[in-house]
Amino acid sequence: MTEMTDKMRAFIAVELPDVALDDLRRAISLIREAGIHNLRVVRPEGIHLTLKFLGDIESSQVEPVSEAMTRATNDVQPFQLHLGETGAFPNIRRPRVLWAGVDGEMESLSNLQQSIEKALEGLGVERERRSFNPHLTLGRIRGGASEEEGQKVAQTLSIIHLDESLTIPVDSISLMRTTMTPDGAVYDRLASAALGA
C-alpha cells in the first residue's frame, strides 16, 4: 500500500496560445524524424515558458503561492513575446536539452520574473541562483549526445525556422502541477493571476 501524500511538483509559467504550440509541434516532428539516439521529445500541448520552478510543495501552499503571484503581477502590465531561434543546452556540440527561444519584450519578461522571485521570498521560497534563461523545452537526450549525434542535432535545428510573427500574449501567469505518466509529463493549472489587475 502506497503512502498518500499531499505534495506535488509545481512551477509558475506562461501558457502558450494554440497557434504557437502548433508551430512548435511542427518543429518537434522534424526533431523526431531526425532519428537522434536517446532523444525524448516533449508533448507539444505541455510546452510552457517556466518563470519559476518550485519543486515539491504541499497542497496547503497553493493558496499562499497564488496570492504571491497576484502581488507579483499587480504592477506588471501585459506585454508580448514571440518565438525565437532554436538551440541546445549546454551547447550544440554536446546537447542534452533542445529548446526554442523567445523574443520580444524581454525587459518586461525579466521584470515579471524578478517580481515573482521577490513575492515568493516572503513565503520562504529560495531565489534562483542561476540567471533567468527563458526557453521552451522541445526534447531531452538521456545521457547526452555523442559528437556524431551532436552534429545530427545541429543539422536538424538549423532547418527549423519558427514563425516569429506568431504573438505570445503575456497577460497572465499560471501555477502548474506536474504529474509524471508512462507517456511523459502531464500539466494541470492550479491557479492563475492576471497581469496589471
Are 173 and 164 in contact by the 8 Å Cβ rule? The answer is no
Cell of 94: 554536446
Q: Which residue in 105, 127, 129 sits closest to 116, CA to CA?
A: 127
Are 194 and 67 in contact by the 8 Å Cβ rule? The answer is no
Res 2 pLDDT > 90: no
Residue 31 CA to residue 159 CA, distance in Å, equals 10
Q: Which residues contact 64 (CB under 8 A, 6 or more apart)?
A: 123
Span 53-71, mean pLDDT? Answer: 95
Query: For the packed helices 62-73 and 106-121, what is the interaxial angle rounded to 10 degrees?
Result: 140
pLDDT tens profile 110-140: 999 999 999 999 888 888 888 999 999 999 9
pLDDT tens profile 15-42: 999 999 999 999 999 999 999 989 999 9
pLDDT tens profile 68-80: 999 999 999 999 9
Architecture label for domain 7-194: Alpha-Beta Complex (3.90)
Long-range contacts at 125-132 (CB < 8 A, ≥ 24 apart): 125/52, 125/54, 128/52, 128/53
pLDDT value at residue 1: 32
Domain boundaries, the chain: 7-194
Residue count of the chain, please give it.
197
